[in-house]
Chain A
Amino acid sequence: MDVVRKLQILADAAKYDASCASSGTTRRDSRSGGGLGSTTGNGICHSYTPDGRCISLLKILLTNHCSYDCLYCVNRVSSAVPRARFTVEEVVRLTLDFYRRNYIEGLFLSSGIISSPDYTMEQVVAVARTLRVDHGFKGYLHLKTIPEASQALIDEAGRWADRISINLELPTAADLQQLAPEKNGARIETAMDAIRLRIQESTVQRAKSPKAPVFAPAGQSTQMIVGATEATDATFLARASHLYTRRGLRRVYYSAFSPIPDASRKLPLVAPPLLREHRLYQADWLLRFYEFNVEELADARRPNLDLALDPKLSWALRHRDRFPVNVNRASRFELLRVPGFGVKTVDRLLQARRWHRIRLADLTRLKVSLQTVMPFIETVDHTPTGHGLDDDNLRARFAPPAEQLDLFAPAGASVSNPA
């Protein structure tokens, strides 16, 4: 099988992993000490595909042979897709060739599980080691690790990689039991915690001496599949919040399960709308940067996010007594809760109002949508009376008509995600 065909099969098998970030690692470059490559703080997206996702890293599987049978996954042993396997050398060469032409920031490598977790992990680590040691590669490396692999191998992975991830895939033990019987939620969390400790250790050591070895400086991330089981948004968000606060994860990705070739049983017939995934990302954002907690967004009484409205607007409409907020006096915390105000806008307003009193025209210059914010704020020249907060139609004004929602819904069923 030639390399083009292998690349087609093994990229196709990798595409259900949403993560493609190349950000948040240490800065390094190839000016001193030779080698190839550099990293920037924010990462670079080198291209975009028509699914709206960016191409930052060469995202491939080492092999899509897998002895596991995770039902949501296109690579599971019982799936009838064509199989291929790269050699370590082939992956190294592809990465370097693409990198030199400025197609990519680096490599995101994962693999189906062949022979044994350790055997597989050893191959993945060998690619990283060859790139770093033999070729002086300084670009970005993201390695998917296998929770069952030995600690020594995970440690070596962390030494070469910028980011390490283990996909949780499903938010509860029961869901995992149902769709990925060979995976073990407790085991995954133990592995995540071991990685967290290593990262912490390395940060502490490096604060003392910059020569101390790095360990996955861009942290660890994970992914959960949305809509393959009955799990609610409240469950997903609670899980994510737990992972951020207790396991120190840098990023949680949500992936609406989407049709895969040769999909399996037990998956719902209809794919969830991409909109649900989008709402989860918005809510995740509110957790991380807007000081919201999970219960404010979704709880047992309202277990799912409102598909029609973004979660902040939806929260505001449920807490009308907190509004209107006076833009010239309110605290940062209060301003952050105004639908239509982002972090940057809020910080600019706080700075500007030390010099003069804010009017609507000022908001326009900051590119704020007046239509969204006006019911919720007071400025020198505006008090919301016309569009009163008590107005029952307020929600209707924001919610798009029902058909429009369908535009976000892809046809079809099923899901997948490698390793």
Chain B
Amino acid sequence: MPAFSFDGTFADWKRAARRALAESCPPQAARWTNARAGQVELELAESPAPYGWESEPPARVRVPRAFLTLAQEAACHSDPTRWDLLYRMLWRLGHGEPHLLEVTVDADVTALRALAKAVHRDVHKMHAFVRFREIPTAAGSWFVSWFEPRHHIVEAAAPFFVKRFAAMRWSILTPERCAHWDGRTLTFAAGATRDAAPPEDAAEDLWRAYYASIFNPARLKVATMASQMPRHYWANLPEARLIPDLIASAQPRTETMVETSDRHRERDSDFGTASVPGSRDLSVLRSAAATCRSCPLWRNASCTVFGEGGPGARVVVVGEQPGDQEDRAGRPFVGPAGQLFDRALQAAGIDRAQLYVTNAVKHFKWEPRGKRRLHQKPNAREIAACRPWLAAELQAIQPDVIVCLGGTAARSVLQSSVRVLETRGRWHPTDFGAPALITVHPSSLLRLPPGEDPKAAFDQFVADLRRVSARMMGFAQGEGGALIRDDI
């Protein structure tokens, strides 16, 4: 029986196959011997002296391009019988079945496609699962990976890494072949062993942290994972060692989340819709608000702190929420921040008696810290729950301008979140028939970050407030007395 020897590559097999065809050697008779490094692909070769391929093989054999593409892929498969299949198909293509590939249900065609698909997948998985480790060298970083493919695919898979990491220097070591890229040329060398590759490094901890955090324990689909990332590859994936623990802890983690949600659900019942009376008489509103229970804040506070000022006020000033002293006094802006505000008003030439002052949230929200009650920022739900009261106050007074002190006030009045530092000192349109000026909350001047000049901060606050008096007088500050343009 004739045996055809070749060096184990597809290119050389093609040459041997052309010779076999020229000899009219039928597929069932041909034997393929991989002569490279004593690896015998098929031991059935009976002829002691393989057919030489020293002399040039015969004329070209014409086959469909699609066959060559598939065959080249299939040739990388580790199945030792692949050369028989390839030659059989080559034979059939040349012996009356040039359309063979179109018979998509033919046993050889489906077998060829299956081999090619397995190789294709292995190449794809190599592109996906190679993990580089970084080694510092005199010439800069060198990225090295250890990988174990299933088929003979290193040559086929390497160009991808050249395209992707062209500017890096890298090596991919595998048991059978190694690929090296020095930034200019791609070379292949004999196989290596695992210990030739660098050991684990710290950057992999970061990657594992990501892997563990992006996993959603509430939806366990282990089989899907294992079909896409077969266990074969796990040994060389730094993240794979987390898998058993992630699976084991998924159920308890999910249960805890559900329990916490249930607790939260109870808290939800604390929220309601404020029952604001239809009247726009401030005293009616004030006494209705005194018994408001529309959000949980009333529970820990002493009383509702409603707004203060005459119904004829032309300016409404909105703060965040009452503080410790306001809560005790039942009046807004009487604590340290209120006193600072008074000084700033004076400096800006505004008489507090012309104002109506109130807060976006009417109950004091706090947290115990030793003996003190530490101010806590109201959250969006609390602000939203309390907004109907503020809206009623604004409708009752119908001011010419609104002043928002800080982000909470601005959020409630404008119904959108704004960046105070970027928007301060400017006018913004509102739903209340009056523009709103945004500035900082006076309490922020009491807790300036270190290094900030308190005098400058105070002056800027006063400058913002001067825009209010200027507008009230109908003239813009610093614009040479020109009539204010609507800079809303």
Q: What distance in Å separates the Cβ of A419 from its nearest Cβ neighbour in chain B?
A: 14
Whether the Cβ atoms of A100 and B102 lie closer than 8 Å is: no
**Residue interface bits B246-288, CB-to-A below 8 A is 1, else 0:** 1100110011011011101100100100000000000000000
Stretch at the interface among B78-86, B126-134, B326-334, B350-358: B126-134
Residues in B with CB closer than 8 Å to A52 are 219-225, 228
Give chain A interface residues in 5-29, CB to chain B under 8 Å: 7-9, 11-12, 14-16, 29
Whether the Cβ atoms of B215 and A50 lie closer than 8 Å is: yes
Chain B residues with a Cβ closer than 8 Å to the other chain, count: 79
- What is the interface of chain A mostly: helix, strand, loop, or mixed? loop
Residues in B with CB closer than 8 Å to A16 are 216
Q: What distance in Å separates the Cβ of B88 from its nearest Cβ neighbour in chain A?
A: 16
Residues in B with CB closer than 8 Å to A265 are 264-265, 268, 271
Whether the Cβ atoms of A4 and B206 lie closer than 8 Å is: yes
Contact of A46 among B128, B133, B167 (CB under 8 A): B128
Stretch at the interface among A222-230, A242-250, A334-342, A410-418: A410-418
**Once bound together, how far apart are the Cα atoms of A29 and B422, in whole Å?**
41
Residue of B nearest to A274 (CB): B219
Whether the Cβ atoms of B103 and A38 lie closer than 8 Å is: no
Contact of B418 among A78, A115, A366, A410 (CB under 8 A): A115
**Once bound together, how far apart are the Cα atoms of A11 and B160, in whole Å?**
28
Residues in B with CB closer than 8 Å to A150 are none
Whether the Cβ atoms of B218 and A258 lie closer than 8 Å is: yes
Contact of A50 among B160, B221, B261 (CB under 8 A): B221
Stretch at the interface among B34-42, B376-384, B394-402, B476-484: B376-384
Residues in A with CB closer than 8 Å to B29 are none
**Once bound together, how far apart are the Cα atoms of A45 and B124, in whole Å?**
9
Whether the Cβ atoms of B257 and A116 lie closer than 8 Å is: no
Residues in A with CB closer than 8 Å to B250 are 50
Task: Check B426 for interface membership: any CB of A closer than 8 A.
Answer: no
- What is the interface of chain B mostly: helix, strand, loop, or mixed? helix
Known contacts being A31-B162, A77-B380, is A261 close to B257, with CB within 8 Å? Answer: yes
**Residue interface bits B115-151, CB-to-A below 8 A is 1, else 0:** 0000000001001111111100000000101000000
Please tell me the size bucket of the interface on A.
35 or more
Known contacts being A46-B128, A101-B143, is A352 close to B165, with CB within 8 Å? Answer: no
Residues in B with CB closer than 8 Å to A67 are 380, 411, 417
Q: What distance in Å separates the Cβ of B161 from its nearest Cβ neighbour in chain A?
A: 8
Task: Check A373 for interface membership: any CB of B closer than 8 A.
Answer: no
Q: Identify which of B129, B165, B255, B419 gathers the most chain A CB atoms within 10 Å of its CB.
A: B165
**Once bound together, how far apart are the Cα atoms of A354 and B100, in whole Å?**
12
Whether the Cβ atoms of B210 and A58 lie closer than 8 Å is: yes
**Once bound together, how far apart are the Cα atoms of A100 and B225, in whole Å?**
24
**Once bound together, how far apart are the Cα atoms of A47 and B228, in whole Å?**
9
Task: Check B300 for interface membership: any CB of A closer than 8 A.
Answer: no
**Once bound together, how far apart are the Cα atoms of A411 and B237, in whole Å?**
30
Give chain A interface residues in 68-99, CB to chain B under 8 Å: 68-69, 76-78, 94, 97-98
Interface residues of chain A, those whose CB is within 8 Å of chain B, are 3-4, 7-9, 11-12, 14-16, 29-31, 34-38, 40, 44-55, 58-59, 67-69, 76-78, 94, 97-98, 100-103, 113-116, 119, 181-182, 256, 258-267, 271, 274, 348-349, 351-352, 354-356, 358, 362-363, 365-366, 410-414
Interface residues of chain B, those whose CB is within 8 Å of chain A, are 99, 102-107, 110, 124, 127-134, 143, 145, 160-168, 203, 205-207, 209-225, 228-229, 237, 239, 243, 246-247, 250-251, 254-255, 257-258, 260-262, 264-265, 268, 271, 379-381, 384, 411, 416-419, 422
Identify 8 residue pairs between A and B in the complex whose beta-carbon atoms are under 8 Å apart, listed by A's number: A4-B205, A49-B211, A67-B417, A69-B380, A77-B381, A115-B419, A256-B219, A259-B257
Given contacts A50-B243, A274-B219, list 6 more A-B pairs with CB under 8 A.
A35-B167, A115-B419, A119-B419, A258-B218, A352-B106, A410-B220
